[in-house]
Every structure is written in structure tokens, then in C-alpha cells.
Amino acid sequence: MTAHIIDGNAIARALRGEIARKVRVRLSGGRAAPGLAVIMVGNNPASEVYVRSKRRDCAEVGIRDIGLNLPANIGASQLLAEIDRFNADPSVDGILVQLPLPTAIDPNTIIERIRPDKDVDGFHPYNIGRLVVRMPLLRPCTPYGAMRLLESTGVSLRGQHAVVVGASNIVGRPMALELLLVGCTVTICHSATRDLAAEVARADVLVVAIGKPEMIPGDWIKPGALVVDVGINRLADNRIVGDVHFESACERASWITPVPGGVGPMTRAILLHNTLLAADRDRP
């Protein structure tokens, strides 16, 4: 079998087009452009690349972005004060703090300070809780983007056995909740899982988010499975690969996301979607 490739670039482009149209409707109705505050602490090179692309995406769809770069040695209290300022600013609909933060700052304290209705990353416990109780509102971008990619295949997900490898707060756990929401039977694997190969072999839908280059070989994958590879790993020769060994997985999967060009562009597009959603709810 040669898998169909799920084209994240094309699906994200279509979503950005839809968002741009909705922003134009807002503007033509005399309403303000949605505003997104992007806070970056320090100068982690990977974060700088992510922030630059997020700001470029905002410009493309007509979202006003407000960038704030803070020095790496800033204290948590100063960062919290900046968040409070954006929380109180009615022209700011979404607030994003680029992770990772310098180790001296506890990310949970920072995430909890963002007003839940401006939490466009969907990481605040309030928004995660809403996903748990089947009332999702601002949903974590990567898992929601991954769901849109799975849905684009047209394959019914209800009743399928989904296996999520990785249990982080920002990807694995909310991913499992999203899959549960559409009626999958969900298994979550992590670094203490005893027999990962056996768990993966049972997956009709496999989502991998571990951060280990090409760790899942194709011959673990159930023939016909849908495979979403969230991992982004840069190799010594500068190539970017996922957590799944793509070529061998293509021989088993029915559908698969490539890296790059799969989940990454969708994560960014969902951030725009969430910012527009926050603006439409708060400043209709």
C-alpha cells in the first residue's frame, strides 16, 4: 500500500483564506480587526522562527499583531504584569506567550494568568476543562489542527481505535480528548508504556508526538491506519523529520501527514482561527 499524503499546507492555506474573508466581513461592518499579542521572552532561535511565522500569518489574514519581546532575565512578576496589561486591553483579543520560557519562570503560572477568553493557545486549565466536559471553546491548536487533517480524509473516526503516543499538556493529552470527542476508543502511551510496538500495532488512528526522530518504524503500523506525525526534529544535517519513519510508514498507512508540511502549518492556522473566534465572542 502507498499511503495518501494529507497535505497540511493546502488545508491550512484554505483555512487561512476562510479566516481572511471573515476578517474582511468584520472590517466592512465597521468592526475592528482581531488583535493578537505575541509575547516572547529571550531569544531562543527556534522560538524566533515560530514567532516570525505567526506574525506573517497574522498579516496575511488581516489580524493586527502586537509583538512584545522581553529580555531572557525578566522576572515572572514583570511578565505577569505585561499579561495583566493585555488582559485589560479591549483591543487585544488573543494573548500568546511563546514557549519554552526561561527555566526560572514556571510556565503554568504564566498560562493561568492569561484571561481564558483570550487564551488563543487553548492551554489554560479552563479551556482544557471545557474540552474534558465536551464543551470546547478555545481548543489547543496542534490537536485541533490534527483533527481537521484527520477529518479531511473523509474516513469516519467514530468507533475507531486511536492511539496517541505522547502525553504532554499541549499535544498528547488534548489530542486524546479531541479523539474521544469524535467517538474514538483512545489509548494514550508515554515514556512509561511497557510495549509501545504492541500498542501502536492496534491503532486504526495513530497520532505520534514524542519528539524523537523517526522513532516509530513503519512495520509497527497497522495496515490501513491513519497516521498523524506531530513531531518536528532537526537532524545534524539540518533535515527536518517527524517521529515516524515516513518512507516505511507510507507502505502501511492509508493516509499520513508529512513532516514538514503536515501538522505544523495547521497549528498556525488554528491560532488564527482561535483569535478570530475570541474576537467574534468578545467584540461581535
Residue 9 binds ligand NAD, judged by CB under 6 A: no
Residue among 95 and 244 whose Cβ is closer to ligand NAD = 244
For ligand NAD, which residue of 13, 55, 212, 283 counts as binding (CB under 6 A)? 212
Q: Which is nearer to ligand NAD, 26 or 124 (CB)?
A: 124
Applying CB under 6 A, which of residues 191, 219, 239, 251 lies at the interface with ligand NAD?
A: 191
* Residue facing ligand NAD at closest CB distance: 168
Question: Shortest Cβ distance from residue 206 to ligand NAD (Å)?
Answer: 12
Q: Which is nearer to ligand NAD, 114 or 171 (CB)?
A: 171
Cis peptide before 136 (omega within 30 of 0): no
- Which grid coordinates belong to 227? 497516521
Look up residue 160 and give its three cell numbers.
475507531
- Nearest CB to ligand NAD, comparing residues 33 and 141: 141
What's the rounded Cα separation, in Å, for the pair 216 and 108?
Answer: 30
The region of 54-62, 117-125, 161-169, 273-281 touching ligand NAD under the rule CB under 6 A is: 161-169
Contact status: 167 vs ligand NAD (CB under 6 A)? yes
- Out of 41, 165, 206, 228, the residue judged to bind ligand NAD by CB under 6 A: 165
Q: Does residue 108 interact with ligand NAD by CB under 6 A? A: no
Instruction: Tell whether residue 196 is a contact of ligand NAD (CB under 6 A).
Output: yes
Q: Residue 264 CB, nearest distance to ligand NAD (Å)?
A: 4
Residue 206's Cα: distance from chain center in Å? Answer: 16
What is the Cα–Cα distance from 205 to 213, expressed in whole angstroms? 20
Residue 160 annotated to the active site: no
Residues numbered 223-282 forming contacts with ligand NAD, rule: CB under 6 A: 230-233, 263-264, 267
Is there binding between residue 153 and ligand NAD (CB under 6 A)?
A: no
Nearer to ligand NAD, 86 or 123 (CB): 123
**In contact, 200 and 178? CB cutoff 8 Å:** no
Active site residue 54: yes
Q: Around 243, how many Cα atoms within 13 Å sit in the side-chain half-sphere?
A: 19
- The residue type of 62 is G
172 binds ligand NAD (CB under 6 A): yes
82 vs 243, beta carbon nearer ligand NAD? 243
Does 193 bind ligand NAD (CB under 6 A)? Our answer is yes
Q: Are the C-beta atoms of 216 and 172 separated by less than 8 Å?
A: no
Which of these is catalytic: 22, 54, 118, 222?
54
Could you give the residue numbers annotated as active site?
54, 98, 121
Which residues here bind ligand NAD, judged by CB under 6 A? 142, 165-168, 170-172, 189-191, 193, 196, 209-212, 230-233, 263-264, 267
